[in-house]
Amino acid sequence: MASLSASSLSLFPLSSSSWSLTKPQLNFSIATTNRIKFTIPTKPRNHVGTHVIRSAVSIDKEILLSESPHTLLRESDGDGNAIRARFQQMIMKAQAIVCEAIEEVDGVGKFKEDAWTRPGGGGGISRVLQDGAVWEKAGVNISVVYGMMPPEAYRAAKPAATDLNPGPVPFFAAGISSVLHPRNPFAPTLHFNYRYFETDAPKDIPGAPRQWWFGGGTDLTPAYIFEEDVRHFHSIQKRACDKFDPTFYPRFKKWCDDYFYIKHRGERRGLGGIFFDDLNDYDQEMLLSFATECANSVVPAYIPIMEKRKDMPYTERHKAWQQLRRGRYVEFNLVYDRGTTFGLKTGGRIESILVSLPLTARWEYDHKPEEGSEEWKLLDACINPKEWI
Amino acid sequence: MASLSASSLSLFPLSSSSWSLTKPQLNFSIATTNRIKFTIPTKPRNHVGTHVIRSAVSIDKEILLSESPHTLLRESDGDGNAIRARFQQMIMKAQAIVCEAIEEVDGVGKFKEDAWTRPGGGGGISRVLQDGAVWEKAGVNISVVYGMMPPEAYRAAKPAATDLNPGPVPFFAAGISSVLHPRNPFAPTLHFNYRYFETDAPKDIPGAPRQWWFGGGTDLTPAYIFEEDVRHFHSIQKRACDKFDPTFYPRFKKWCDDYFYIKHRGERRGLGGIFFDDLNDYDQEMLLSFATECANSVVPAYIPIMEKRKDMPYTERHKAWQQLRRGRYVEFNLVYDRGTTFGLKTGGRIESILVSLPLTARWEYDHKPEEGSEEWKLLDACINPKEWI
């Protein structure tokens, strides 16, 4: 999944089902080539009769642009009716809307934009607001990747076809990813991320289909619980889900609690939201609408909470606790988040990947909040995920 | 290497040669058992004709003690002449000496001690000073582990005997590990770590030998370069090495530069020092003396630098740069350090493992120091390691 390094933030948190083979990779070499390539050595290392796959991954070096392009798609993908073009349009619009809402509430900070392409096609647009009045750090990134998918990933994406054995398959991925870290400890961090994958049909297997799937989610990470805020946030997620399928919210809420799990702490990173991946067992148009609805729900889910919390008075103790929870955010993103860890290993644009990290974080030895305190209540909700609505 | 989770800080940064098989593990389950166990399922997952090893790792839960024990060894290891007993004595003494020196220079902060044992034998003593006058966070930990080594690790530790195929082999490991993060941005962070491993002779292979090896190192991570400090630090390392073998310093200096490499940044964590692992091709007594000499060199290598830098006036800019470099420290420890990442995955004492993280850290988007500035010089030396003496 070299390609995923081109993602920004944790744009493509690889699902274990689709990409399990890529995880045991031990070594990566980064080379400047015409496009993303996967090579699997013909002689895997042999330990005690078992094999370990070692993949060499290469990715184009990004080329910074002086201004944002209107599209990151290859010219051949210019058809405005294709899903990939419409998905790109959707994430570009979502980026603009979210950034505008953030700047308006912040009042002081302005987004700085960096855009890049890659020689093989694709690229990204990072927008980062740092040291604002309301947000310490807010990143909203989009990116488009053209790459080659290793054969086993294609197989895994379609488990029924396990007898097929294609060569590497070209794929397309596009996504928006954002982490918004406010200054006020009573104002929550928000993360969201919506992405679309598409493969070509493998040329060497007649009749083998093109694959596609959607992934994404929106989740809330406060340092203190205001039940009305968490209920509001989850209600908006549920409303977006319910427009499409009543099973979505309960399924994706649980998936979110399971994914954002800091295993060594036994804690979730925050209070969840929704998360889904590999979604392809619905009508493609319906899922594009669903992803659009989710992205459009970011502002109504988050901004009203920020309006209420951004100016609340707080003490050093509140700030220190927020900083400790930011430390947990760093732990999750650097140790577990599949998009981040893979991106780091495969030579993506590091600054875009790591813009998800907070401006500041704190680690105290053996810190334990007093039982029953507000800090303890947050921790308890991270350890024992709750139903908020 | 469940055992290594019992380590504190990055006590046992597994060398790839000894433990390569443990790295591709995908899933860990932590159970309460009588001792550390490794189980390799009989049916590895099969992807495209290759196998991925999945190991279940279990480790005893630690039992906190109300006061520090005189020994962490099993009673049967009580013989004061055995290397394991003498190594434990050495690290206990080193812990006492370093903590005393730190408290004396700090003047305000005091070490808080936590000690624990495990039902199967072994345990640890963590000493942490937090929010001192000179050090923001200083951790000096020792630990002793009794565990079962997976057969492939035993084989790898003795490459010549690749035709042997023993069952799991009991092993012993002991070490001291420390990270000292000062407050003043002109005062450097220090890390050191010395450890000793020993296996039993595999019972099921007549004539197969007991294995043992030493590992460790001491390295310096300043935010600003004072050449005289770095030269002093490296000179003390070289002096310790030269007493034993003139090849040690150049070999272990390079090993250190190679190990503390933040691959996604293309930077080393700091300005190096010495690092070695799997050292067993010398006389065992000689290597015990060498490890002792290295541990005894910590105070003379570090304290004179701290005396000079602890009270230097600094500005917010200096502090912010130190905080950015602390962010890099976090990145290295959470993403690359083998002791830390493995410890996190295998259920060790999290607070002891993560005491290596700084009290505070910072991530700015796309920060680039001005060329020629003091910050740039530090970064340049992290990108292009120098010979300091």
Chain B residue with minimum CA distance to A363: B359
pLDDT in tens, B82-105: 999 999 999 999 999 999 999 999
**pLDDT band (50, 70, 90) for residue A81:** confident
Report d(CA A51, CA A59) in Å as an integer.
25
Of B128, B345, B366, the CB nearest to A351: B366
Cα gap A4→A314, rounded to integer Å: 39
Residue holding tokens 């060499």? A56
> What pLDDT, on a 0 to 100 scale, did the predictor assign at position B152?
63
> What is the model's pTM?
0.84
pLDDT digits (tens, 9 = 90+) for A144-163: 988 887 666 665 555 555 45
Q: Calculate mean pLDDT across residues A55-66.
A: 66
Q: Which of residues 48-87 of B touch A (CB under 8 A)?
A: 48, 50-53
Q: Do A170 and A212 meet the contact criterion of CB atoms below 8 Å apart?
A: no
Q: Are β-strands B37-39 and B56-58 bridged in parallel, bridged antiparallel, or unpaired?
A: antiparallel
A232 catalytic, yes or no? no
**Residue B380: left (phi > 0), alpha (psi -120 to 50), or beta?**
alpha
Of A130, A359, A364, the CB nearest to B359: A364
User: If phi over 0 gives left and psi between -120 and 50 gives alpha, with beta otherwise, what is residue A372?
Assistant: left
Q: Across residues B138-167, what is the average pLDDT? A: 71
- State the average pLDDT for chain A: 83
Chain B hits for A265, Cβ within 8 Å: 350
pLDDT of residue A22: 28
3-state secondary structure of A153: helix
Q: Which of B316, B297, B325, B136 is nearest to B225 (CA)?
A: B325
CB atoms within 10 A of CB B307: 12
- Please write the tens of the pLDDT for every residue from A342-357: 778 766 789 999 999 9
- Banded pLDDT at A119 (limits 50, 70, 90): confident
Q: How confident is the model at residue B59 (pLDDT cuts 50, 70, 90)?
A: low
Phi, psi (degrees; rounded to nearest 5) at B236: -65, -40
Per the DSSP assignment, residues forming a β-bridge with A116 are A64, A124
Cβ contact, residue pair A363, B351, below 8 Å: no
pLDDT at B31 over 80: no
- Distances from the Cα of B323 to the Cα of A109, B224, B257, B320, angstroms: 22, 12, 22, 5
What angle, rounded to 10 degrees, do the helices at B284-296 and B227-242 form? 160
Cβ within 8 Å of residue A383, ≥6 positions away = A266, A267, A268
H or E element in which residue A379 lies: helix A374-383
Of the ranges A56-70, A301-315, B45-59, B196-210, which one carries the lowest mean pLDDT score? B45-59
Q: Decide if B354 contacts B8 (C-beta within 8 A).
A: no
Instruction: Identify the weakest region by mean pLDDT among A6-15, A16-25, B313-322.
Output: A16-25
Q: Identify the residue among B363, B364, B383 best suited for mutation to test binding to A, counting A beta carbons within 10 A and taking the highest.
A: B363
Q: Contact, B10 vs B193, CB < 8 A?
A: yes
Alpha-helical (H) ranges within A59-109 are 83-106
Contacts of B361 in chain A (CB under 8 A): 330, 360-363
The closest CB to that of A354, out of B50, B114, B363, belongs to B363
Output the CA torsion sign for A216, A222, A226, A229: negative
Judge whether residue A27 has pLDDT over 60.
no
Whether B30 has a pLDDT exceeding 80, the answer reads no
Least confident residue range of A99-113, A253-267, B60-74, B212-226? B60-74
Task: Tell me the residue type at B377.
Answer: K
Of A23, A26, A3, the C-alpha closest to A348 is A3
C-alpha B21/C-alpha A351 separation (Å) is: 32
**Maximum CA pair distance of chain A?**
66
Residues 7-26 on B with a CB inside 8 Å of A are 20-21, 23-24, 26
Q: Which residues of B are catalytic?
A: 191
- The band of B6, judged by pLDDT with boundaries at 50, 70 and 90, is very low
Average pLDDT over residues A165-185: 90
Mean pLDDT rounded to a whole number for chain B: 83
Share of chain A above pLDDT 70, in %: 80
Q: What are the backbone dihedrals phi and psi of residue A223, each rounded to the nearest 5 degrees, phi first?
A: -95, -20
Taking alpha carbons only, the member of A293, A8, A271, A12 closest to residue A140 is: A8
Q: Look up residue A68 and give its amino acid.
A: S
**What integer is the mean pLDDT of A251-272?**
97
As a whole number of angstroms, the distance between CA A60 and CA A210 comes to 25
Q: Which of B172, B194, B154, B148 is nearest to B1 (CA)?
A: B148
- Whether chain A has a CB inside 8 Å of the CB on B363: the answer is yes
Within chain B, residue ranges assigned H as helices are 2-5, 16-19, 83-106, 151-157, 227-242, 248-259, 284-296, 298-309, 316-331, 338-345, 350-353, 374-383
Mean pLDDT for the stretch of residues A256-273: 97
Q: Indicate the residue of B23, B51, B365 with minimum beta-carbon distance to A130.
A: B365
Instruction: Please tell me the distance from the alpha carbon of residue A330 to that of residue A322, in angstroms, as a whole number.
Output: 12
Domains of chain A: 2-383 (3.40.1500.10)
B364 inside 8 A of chain A by CB: yes
> In Å, what is the CA distance from A72 to each residue of A118, B44, B181?
9, 41, 44
Checking if the pLDDT of A7 tops 80, the result is no
Catalogue the E-assigned strands of B20-62: 37-39, 45-47, 50-52, 56-58
Interface confidence, given as ipTM, is 0.84
- Would you say residue B283 has pLDDT above 60? yes
Q: What is the pLDDT of residue A129?
A: 98
Two structure tokens written together for A164:
């097929």
In tens, the pLDDT along B298-345 reads 999 999 999 999 999 999 999 999 999 999 999 999 999 988 877 787
C-alpha B1/C-alpha B343 separation (Å) is: 9
Residue contact A360–B358, C-beta within 8 A:
no
Of B101, B104, B110, B100, the residue nearest B132 (C-alpha): B110
Beta bridge partners of A114: A126
Asked whether the beta carbons of residue A335 and residue B344 sit closer than 8 angstroms, the reply is yes
Considering only A193-202, B51-60, B256-265, which range has the smallest mean pLDDT? B51-60
Chain A hits for B51, Cβ within 8 Å? 50-51
Beta partners for A112? A128
